[in-house]
Amino acid sequence: MKTRGALSKTRLLPSLVGLILVLLGLAMLIGGIKLSQLGGSWYYLIAGVGVGLSGLLLIAARRAAIWLFAIFLLASTIWSLQEVGLDWWQLVPRLALWFVVGIVLLLPWVRRPLGVTRMKSASAAALSIAVILAGLTAIASQFTNPHDIEGTIVRDASGPNDAVANAMNGDWPSYGGTERGQRYSPLDQITPENVGKLEEVWRYRTGDIPGPNDPSETTAENTPLKVNGKLYVCTPHSQVIALDPDSGKELWRFDPKLSTQNADSFKGWAHMTCRGVAYYEDDGAAAEPAYASAEIGTGLAPPASDGAANGDAAPVTEEGKQQAADQAPASGVAADLADACPRRLFLPTADTRLIALNADTGEMCPGFGDNGSIDLTRNIGSFTAGGYYSTSPPSVAHGLVIIGGHVTDNESTNEPSGVIRAYDAKDGHLVWNWDSGNPDDTTPIGPDETYTRNSPNMWSVMSVDSDLGMIYLPMGNQMPDQWGGNRTPEAEKYSAGVTALDIDTGQVRWTYQFTHHDLWDMDVGGQPSLVDIQTDEGVKPALMASTKQGSIYVLDRRTGEAIVPIHEIDAPQGAVEGDHTAATQPHSELSFSPDTLHGKDMWGVTPLDQMLCRIQFQSLRYEGMFTPPSLQGSLVYPGNFGVFDWGGIAVDPERQIAFASPAYMAFTSQLVPREQADGGERISETEGVQPNAGAPYGVIMGAFLSRLGLPCQAPPWGYVAGVDLSNHQTVWQHKNGTVRDSAPVPMPLPMGVPALGGPIMTGGGVAFLSGTLDQYLRAYDVTNGEELWKGRLPAGGQTTPMTYEGKDGRQYVLVMAGGHGSLGTKQGDYVVAYALPEGDDSN
């Protein structure tokens, strides 16, 4: 017979397990009651009762604890399969903890004190069966990929010939590869058969890393250029560095000595970044003032598709002619100075300048603007530090350098204009300006005038079709993002879409809006891709615009008419007082828009944080995509990082394939009454209370995260996907990336993570992407999406890589790895180049 002390000792372990279960059950019971009151699942309330009673029975040393937990585990397995099927990452928070508890209860040190001395006993057998079924469910889920699409695009490189891409001659002369923004190179030395041999061949450090006074959102988003026999890199502080393409050796460096670098505070800054520079080679022609070519007609009939509209050219007045003539190029010495830099780079700086550099030497071109520089604050009006500057490279076409600008989100209703300005690429005189707040008059503005305050801007990268004579602007919207009660008719027309302008005059040729009355920050972030698409009606010149809401709009770039059908779908209603919502929203048949979220889509590491996410979900206003912002707080899904942001997509014009990297992260936004907003603190563009001065509401925004800082929605959060352009079907899609560099424990779990930064494609049939939250440059087979190779990066690679042919004849793949302050990835100052081993280009 056991003594009382021995008996107490043997009951210690089951009592401790029982106490843990009681506490877990109590927490789930309290949370379950709250969730059920909000209209959510009753499972957590019932589970709280079952787990808590199991714990009490364990403490009381009753074998009924084994029976009850067996029933609970079996019921939980059935419930989990009913909710999410064989989805491994969804099963983890539902079953993993209970599976472990079931095994613990079967241990002899736990069950024997309860009188369950044999595994053959009925209660132990029942629990064993429940544990085995839960385990088999987990094992079976390892063989399923419920979110993937398996397929192959079988097509060789024999589609429509793209003369612009084929003229690259091994270079990467523009941010998107060429002015058409395809992010494609015809180079074919690297293939699916040999890409696994890629190795790092050189690494360069710029020395430009975030300083103590920098904003936390300092980001290295640069895609270098390769042209003129050199690589050109732009750093976050607007420094330009020329490197030898084969060795990475520094050739020259230009430091603009930003006027902001000694500032005491950068709290108002949203970003400190430079996505790129633009290259220009003088062909001897001079740009004419806008009035000289204003008689050029569009040559196009008004497009018939919904939302597209031709702009009418404004009459040219004598006053306008005189204003343009006043800014026309000078003769004599000034003309000689303008000719002194036949090859030049155009650099937008963070302190609001546009600088022309000699691409050979790195010196400023004295004949451009004021000794090589143009003050972009001219005619803009007042703004807070960092509230206006160009984060993206300008475009150069028809002898003009054309530039837009970033405007800080959600600060006030009195922000700088979103004007697009075209300057003569040689001497810098203003040729035309297109202000979306005054869209018909593109005559250069007078020296004492101010562009329309708070008009929609274009902060991303435009695309150019020089043959058609058009530029294509991916447009933002009028501030603030989440409240639009006082937006002008012009803002309503030109926001959140693509507007095509005549290169020579700035006049509107057509415009198409992708989000009506945008209240969700759905500005078009990616550079549109211009590609000739094979259709049933023959080859059509297309524009492909990827968007934050997930639709990829495919338009005829001549007219703005839809090539892939676009439908107007009903949208949720019920904006706050003083505002309204659009009755419908455009939706493309080529779309990566996510399904509507439900409670079952909430996630967590354990049942507890999953339950808390479900409570948070049920507490927010959410009626699907385009749920209006609210005082209650609304769920915004996709969030304002979007399915596609500034990285855009890549297209192979010959194989007729598009490569995309869709991401899925939900955000929340809560409108704040004026008096509360005035008392709040704005930490950055994404943290704190955004004031929206001049509007009746401020706003608080953030990612939809659990208490552990993990996404509340279930993974995968990021994919790679391939689209057949001939039928606009998504042929393959695979989750992409690991949580190695973003999880508390650095485990390379292949959960699929978001990517910020774009992909590129090559003539060899290989795509590259570096923007995932883990620090890798990856290579993929474009026909089926198979990951072929990955190279570890020294810092976050939230950029778009590029590829070029070196002087040694090798094809290089290059990426800037500097991290991203907004995402919290590791920051650095690296430029890393990869190539096949020297002399090895075998297939």
Which residues are known catalytic residues?
521
The whole-angstrom separation of Cα 152 and Cα 729 is 12
Q: How far is CA 579 from the centre of its chain?
A: 28
Please name the residues in contact with 473: beta carbons below 8 A apart, sequence gap of 6 or more.
Answer: 404, 420, 458, 462, 498, 499, 500, 501
Alpha helices in 642-691 (DSSP H): 674-678
Of 633, 639, 640, 629, the C-alpha closest to 618 is 633
Whether the CB-CB separation of 513 and 490 falls below 8 Å is answered with no
Burial 199-210 (b: 16+ CB within 10 A, else e): eebbebebebbb
Question: Which conformational region is residue 353 in: left (phi greater than 0), alpha (psi within -120 to 50 degrees), or beta?
Answer: beta
Q: How far is CA 483 from the centre of its chain?
A: 22
Rounded to 5 degrees, φ, ψ at 458 are -130, 100
Following CA atoms 296, 297, 300, 304 in sequence, which dihedral angle do they give, to the nearest 10 degrees?
130
Q: Which residues pair with 570 in a beta bridge?
A: 584
CA angle centred on 461, ends 242 and 582, rounded to 5°: 160
The whole-angstrom separation of Cα 809 and Cα 805 is 6
Q: Which residues pair with 200 in a beta bridge?
A: 834
> How much is the CA Rg of the chain, to the nearest whole Å?
29
Amino acid at residue number 698: G
C-alpha distances in angstroms, 668 versus 117, 308, 639, 755? 53, 31, 8, 20
Q: How far is CA 244 from the centre of its chain?
A: 31
Following CA atoms 302, 304, 309, 313 in sequence, which dihedral angle do they give, to the nearest 10 degrees?
0
Per the omega criterion (within 30 degrees of 0), is the bond before 628 cis? no
Rounded to 5 degrees, φ, ψ at 624 are 100, -175
The whole-angstrom separation of Cα 153 and Cα 277 is 35
The whole-angstrom separation of Cα 253 and Cα 457 is 31
Question: Which conformational region is residue 839 in: left (phi greater than 0), alpha (psi within -120 to 50 degrees), or beta?
Answer: left
- The sign of the torsion formed by the CA atoms of 58, 63, 65, 70 equals positive
C-alpha distances in angstroms, 409 versus 315, 376, 406? 34, 19, 9
Whether the CB-CB separation of 653 and 162 falls below 8 Å is answered with yes
Rounded to 5 degrees, φ, ψ at 650 are -120, 145
The whole-angstrom separation of Cα 498 and Cα 790 is 35
Burial of 155 (0-12, 13-18, 19+ CB in 10 A): middle
Rounded to 5 degrees, φ, ψ at 22 are -65, -45
Please name the residues in contact with 432: beta carbons below 8 A apart, sequence gap of 6 or more.
Answer: 289, 290, 421, 422, 442, 443, 444, 505, 506
CA angle centred on 327, ends 322 and 328, rounded to 5°: 90
Coil, strand or helix: which one is 185?
Answer: strand
Whether the CB-CB separation of 603 and 664 falls below 8 Å is answered with no
The whole-angstrom separation of Cα 349 and Cα 256 is 8
